[in-house]
């Protein structure tokens, strides 16, 4: 398989000043919280893993993926979404997405019709927490005898609480609770069918793993206590603008094995008990309220900012966002400047090559900004200001 791979090593980016994921145990709710529709059906319907990728690995195995079978994955993806299929030596085929990241059904139908190996699984993703209706695709999969894996990695989805509209259509559902809570790990596999997960055996984390997790969580909670000074942003941008940038290398690579982010030695290890406790102790209502507030803050700031645009400007009712995705017109230099300022941004620049125009475009242009519940208003102000000032900078040759 051909992959794009951006190597930033020579750029020497500093550590972000603020944690991209929640790093303080905000909003404890010792009294528990409002259960959603799935709650009460614990244990037999769920298996815990250290990350969503290992839950996806089990989902792929249950779907019957092996060598010479096909895994259909969305063209816009991070490598951990395809690592599990590569670990099983399956063939990964990418289906196209529309600009709003919904699946191109025509292309999917075409891929299935022309497949020269059995298609065993289709992965569909609720990107950034925006819930899509995968009902019609579930119907399509039933007809074609394909296992539908619903990717809720960007969705607030735990044993106790599932964001409205999520987990409804997948034969198997995977999630990454560690992205929504202040904890060291957490991946989840869910099935509505009581017996479906019976063959999935996991083993508990050791006491040492638990202690390392607690230490990690404590250290993370001290990250970004004070974001940085506002006048410093201008002076840093002045100096970045006057020196040549190291751009890193952007290569095409042939690879059919999982990335170094996939470790088979921990694939069957359960998440830490400590991580699950942290998730249970956090109120999803407050978590959601704060995330929505922070998302909307980014949306109104970006509506007034040049050289960028939101790909989802309006937050649907009930949606619990994971991050704020923003399209930047000038990845060179803006991506580099934001990284050098220490703004916590993510970008999926390592990605399988596809014929999807949106994925090929978004790979270097779409950046993910944090909107999690643990951000302080000072941190958010600093990030919005740093982002804004970067986007406003005139480049050489601009009028």
User: How far is residue 82's CA from residue 87's CA, in Å, rounded to a whole number?
Assistant: 9
Nearest-CA neighbor of 355 among 89, 112, 108?
Answer: 108
Residues 74-113 that bind ligand PLP (CB under 6 A): 78, 80-81
Query: How would you label 5-35 residue by residue, b for 16+ Cβ within 10 Å and e otherwise?
Result: ebebeebebeebbbbbbbbbebbeeeeebee
Smallest gap, in angstroms, from Cβ of residue 284 to ligand PLP? Answer: 18
CB of 83 to ligand PLP, least distance (A): 8
275 belongs to the binding site for ligand PLP (CB under 6 A)? no
Q: How far apart, in whole angstroms, are the C-alpha atoms of residue 147 and residue 112?
A: 13
Q: Which is nearer to ligand PLP, 13 or 346 (CB)?
A: 346
Distance of closest approach, residue 303 Cβ to ligand PLP, in angstroms:
25
Q: Which of 17, 45, 51, 292 binds ligand PLP (CB under 6 A)?
A: 51
What does the alpha-carbon distance between residue 385 and residue 379 come to, in Å, rounded to a whole number? 10
The tally of CA atoms less than 13 A away on the side-chain side of residue 250 is 10
Q: Least Å distance between CB 270 and ligand PLP?
A: 14
- Cβ proximity to ligand PLP: between 59 and 391 the closer is 59
Q: What residues from 168 to 227 belong to the interface with ligand PLP (CB under 6 A)?
A: 176, 187
CB nearer to ligand PLP: give 154 or 276. 154
User: Binding segment for ligand PLP among 147-155, 203-211, 226-234, 305-313 (CB under 6 A)?
Assistant: 147-155
Closest distance to ligand PLP from the beta carbon of 126 (Å)? 8
* Residue nearer to ligand PLP on the CB measure, 101 or 141: 101
Query: Does 153 engage in binding with ligand PLP (CB under 6 A)?
Result: yes
* Closest separation in Å from C-beta 151 to ligand PLP: 5
Beta strand 91-95 with 70-74 is parallel
Question: What is the edge-to-edge ordering of all strands in the sheet holding 119-125?
Answer: 46-49, 187-190, 172-175, 147-152, 119-125, 70-74, 91-95
Give least dist CB 154 to ligand PLP, A: 5
Nearer to ligand PLP (CB atom), residue 180 or residue 335: 180
Closest to ligand PLP by CB, 270 vs 390, is 270
Q: How far is the CB of 70 from ligand PLP (least distance, A)?
A: 19
Among 17, 47, 48, 53, binds ligand PLP (CB under 6 A): 53
Of positions 20, 22, 52, 352, contacts ligand PLP by CB under 6 A: 52
How many whole angstroms separate alpha carbon 264 and alpha carbon 337? 36
Integer Cα distance of 148 and 145 in angstroms: 9
Among 58, 150, 151, 159, binds ligand PLP (CB under 6 A): 151
Nearest approach in angstroms of CB 81 to ligand PLP is 5
Residue 90 vs 227, nearer CB to ligand PLP? 90
CA–CA dist 368, 338 (Å, integer)? 12
Choice between 188 and 227, CB closer to ligand PLP: 188
Query: Phi then psi for 151, rounded to 5 degrees?
Result: -95, 105
With respect to ligand PLP, which residue has the nearer C-beta, 111 or 173? 173
Looking at 73-81, 92-100, 326-334, 380-388, which segment touches ligand PLP (CB under 6 A)? Answer: 73-81
Go through 59-98 and write b for each residue having 16 or more CB atoms within 10 A of its CB, e for each that does not.
bbbbbebeeebbbbbbbbbbbbbbbbbbbbebbbbbbbbe
Identify which of residues 269 and 340 has a Cβ nearer to ligand PLP in the complex: 269
How many residues interact with ligand PLP (rule CB under 6 A)? 12
Nearer Cβ to ligand PLP (86/236): 86
Which residues have a Cβ under 8 Å from the Cβ of 338 and sit 6 or more positions away?
A: 345, 367, 386, 387, 390
Which tokens in the block code for residue 115? 């497949």
Residues in contact with ligand PLP, shown as a per-residue x/- string from 116 to 135 under the rule CB under 6 A = ---------x----------
Instruction: Tell me which residues touch ligand PLP (CB under 6 A).
Output: 51-53, 78, 80-81, 125, 151, 153-154, 176, 187
């Amino acid at each position: 398989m051909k992959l794009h791979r951006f190597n930033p090593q020579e750029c020497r980016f500093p550590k972000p000043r603020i944690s991209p994921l929640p790093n303080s145990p905000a909003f404890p709710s010792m009294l528990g919280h409002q259960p959603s529709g799935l709650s009460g059906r614990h244990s037999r319907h769920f298996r815990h893993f250290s990350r969503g990728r290992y839950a996806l690995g089990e989902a792929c195995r249950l779907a019957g993926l092996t060598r010479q079978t096909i895994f259909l994955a969305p063209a816009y993806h991070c490598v951990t979404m395809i690592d599990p299929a590569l670990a099983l030596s399956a063939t990964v085929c990418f289906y196209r997405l529309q600009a709003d990241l919904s699946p191109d059904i025509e292309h999917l139908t075409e891929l299935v019709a022309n497949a020269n190996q059995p298609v065993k699984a289709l992965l569909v993703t609720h990107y950034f927490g925006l819930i899509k209706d995968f009902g019609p695709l579930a119907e399509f999969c039933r007809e074609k005898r394909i296992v539908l894996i619903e990717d809720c990695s960007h969705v607030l989805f735990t044993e106790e609480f599932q964001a409205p509209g999520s987990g409804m259509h997948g034969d198997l559902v995977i999630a990454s609770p560690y992205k929504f809570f202040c904890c060291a790990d957490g991946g989840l596999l869910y099935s509505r069918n009581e017996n479906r997960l019976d063959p999935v055996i996991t083993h508990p984390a050791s006491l040492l793993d638990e202690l390392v997790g607690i230490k990690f969580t404590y250290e993370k909670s001290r990250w970004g206590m004070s974001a940085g000074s506002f006048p410093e942003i201008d002076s840093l941008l002045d100096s970045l603008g006057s020196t040549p940038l190291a751009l890193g290398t952007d290569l095409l690579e042939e690879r059919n094995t999982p990335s170094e982010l996939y470790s088979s030695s921990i694939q069957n290890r359960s998440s830490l008990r400590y991580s699950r406790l942290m998730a249970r102790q956090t109120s999803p209502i407050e978590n959601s309220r704060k995330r929505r507030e922070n998302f909307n803050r980014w949306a109104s700031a970006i509506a007034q900012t040049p050289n960028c645009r939101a790909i989802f400007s309006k937050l649907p009712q009930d949606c619990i966002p994971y991050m704020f995705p923003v399209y930047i017109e000038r990845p060179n230099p803006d991506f580099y400047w934001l990284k050098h300022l220490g703004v916590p941004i993510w970008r999926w620049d390592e990605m399988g090559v596809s014929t999807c125009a949106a994925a090929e475009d978004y790979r270097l242009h779409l950046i993910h900004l944090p909107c999690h519940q643990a951000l302080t208003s000072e941190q958010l102000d600093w990030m919005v200001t740093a982002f804004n000032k970067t986007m406003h900078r005139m480049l050489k040759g601009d009028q």
